Structure 1
Amino acid sequence: MAPLPDTGARVRRFTRAERLVHRATGWLMLLCLVTAACLYLAPLAQLVGRRHLMVTVHEWSGILLPAPFLLGLLSPAFRADLRRLNRFAPYDRQWLRAARRRLTAPSVRPAGKFNAGQKLYAGWIAGAVLLMLFTGLLMWCGGLLPAISRTSAIFVHDCLAWGITFVLVAHLRKAYEDPEARLGMRTGSVPVRWAREKHSEWLPDDTSAPRRRSVD
């Protein structure tokens, strides 16, 4: 499919509240990962030192990690996007089949406001953060659940931390490869041309306004 002409028209993709939630969550996640690296990787631990400070920052950044999400629930636009992320449409399954076959043409990868990969990522990272918070609290407050040993909590916490690291690196790589998507998260708007190419089920054919649909 030939690229659509760039008319310069733009469409709102994210509100200020949604961008703030994303940014705050990203910074807290980065703090968690950096301080974890300073605690568990010997060369970094020796270079940085100040273990007690690293432990304190790591614990509180982890505890505060759900806070941006909870505050974001005050925004109707944020809640609407959560509903979109939580629903799979028939074209999402088509997107996944095309991704498995490494078909990259937009015409064979239909998507709503969020594609199927973004929906899977959002669900995975939400579950991972909750499990990290739970195991972190078990490590911090010994005896909270006597049936679960602290050693088991540490094992799950550490394994999941590596999983989150790899998934976040993949997420950042995808964002790096799509400057228009990064611009949308930074400014809140994206070109209509990009939206129709990458998220064909989000915009109708005859207008630059997003579709008002219960599932997209």
Structure 2
Amino acid sequence: MSPRPESAAPAADHHRVPRFTRAEHRVHRATAALMAVCVATAACLYLPFLAELVGRRALMVTLHEWSGILLPAPLLLGLVSRALRADLTRLNRFGPHDRTWLRAVLRRRGARPAGKFNAGQKLYAAWLAGAVLVMTGTGLLMWFTHLAPLVWRTGATFVHDWLALSLLIVIGGHVWMAYRDPESRAGLRTGSVEAAWARREHPLWRPEEGADGKRGMEGADGKPGNP
């Protein structure tokens, strides 16, 4: 017997489409691991009860310094991946549909059009990239004391400490949002997502382009561009 139309619909909803490549998954995991070491060692250096519990301050300082210096390394190495370069281009494009998405989030009503990445993800990526650069620069001034006069190092310490606190808050929000969306996490872990989720959360994205970006990407208006 041929399947009934209504019984075929759920199967179509569970069809999976490619979202990320293995290289992107590895870059994300390596960056997350280095960031976790940075945050954990910073906590051991700044919070007295953790400093007393862990001890070995010199080791914590060394781990913190080198994990911070190496933080950009996974992304830089990952640039050999065409898929990663294509997604960085997507993240760097902010169009009218992104402003519509932000207004809908702020007003808590209305449609939320998004390409492969929504406006919130684009803002988070841009902010994180800038924060990492500032943290690296100020950290170098604090590490190599001969690079600048005392007043510069004092300012660098102030900026480094407060930016670290804001990083902790923003990353916590990122982790919380990921926890609330299992399918989004599955996209990074397995490289694919359910077609129904893609249509609902990223309606302007064309999953048939694949994760490698070979068939073009969304333009500034959220529509697919030319190959």
TM-score with structure 2 setting the length: 0.87
Question: What amino acid is aligned across from residue 106 of structure 2 in structure 1?
Answer: R
Counterpart pick for 1:78 among 73, 77, 84: 84
Say if 1:92 and 1:23 are closer, same or farther in 2 by CA, change over 3 A.
same
Counterpart pick for 2:74 among 68, 73, 76: 68
State the partner residue of 2:141: 138
Q: Deviations over 1:22-58 (max 9, x none)?
A: 0000000000000000000000000000000000000
**Over aligned residue pairs, what C-alpha RMSD do you find?**
1.5
Give 3-state SS (helix, strand or coil) of 1:11's partner.
strand
State the partner residue of 1:10: 16
Question: What amino acid is aligned across from residue 78 of structure 2 in structure 1?
Answer: G
Distance, in Å, in 2 between the alignment partners of 1:52 and 1:147 is: 22
State the partner residue of 2:217: 213
Q: Deviations over 1:138-166 (max 9, x none)?
A: 00001213385211111100000000000
Moved more, 6-15 or 73-82: 6-15
CA drift of 1:90 comes to 1.2
Q: Deviations over 1:159-203 (max 9, x none)?
A: 000000000000001000100000001010001110000000002
1:95 and 2:101 correspond: yes
Counterpart pick for 1:33 among 16, 28, 39: 39
Distance, in Å, in 2 between the alignment partners of 1:154 and 1:96 is: 34
CA drift of 1:214 comes to 4.7
Distance, in Å, in 2 between the alignment partners of 1:5 and 1:161 is: 45
- Pairing of 1:1-216 with structure 2 (within 5 A): 5=10, 7=12, 8-103=14-109, 108-146=111-149, 149-203=152-206, 209-210=208-209, 212-215=216-219, 216=222
Unmatched tracts of structure 1, length 5 or more: none
Question: What amino acid is aligned across from residue 98 of structure 2 in structure 1?
Answer: D
Q: Deviations over 1:112-140 (max 9, x none)?
A: 00000000000000000000000000000
Distance, in Å, in 2 between the alignment partners of 1:52 and 1:166 is: 26
CA contact (8 A) 2:205 2:218 kept: no
Identity of aligned residues (%): 62
Distance, in Å, in 2 between the alignment partners of 1:102 and 1:214 is: 25
Unmatched tracts of structure 2, length 5 or more: 1-8, 210-214, 223-227
Structure 1 segments, 4+ long, off by >6 Å, are: none
TM-score with structure 1 setting the length: 0.91
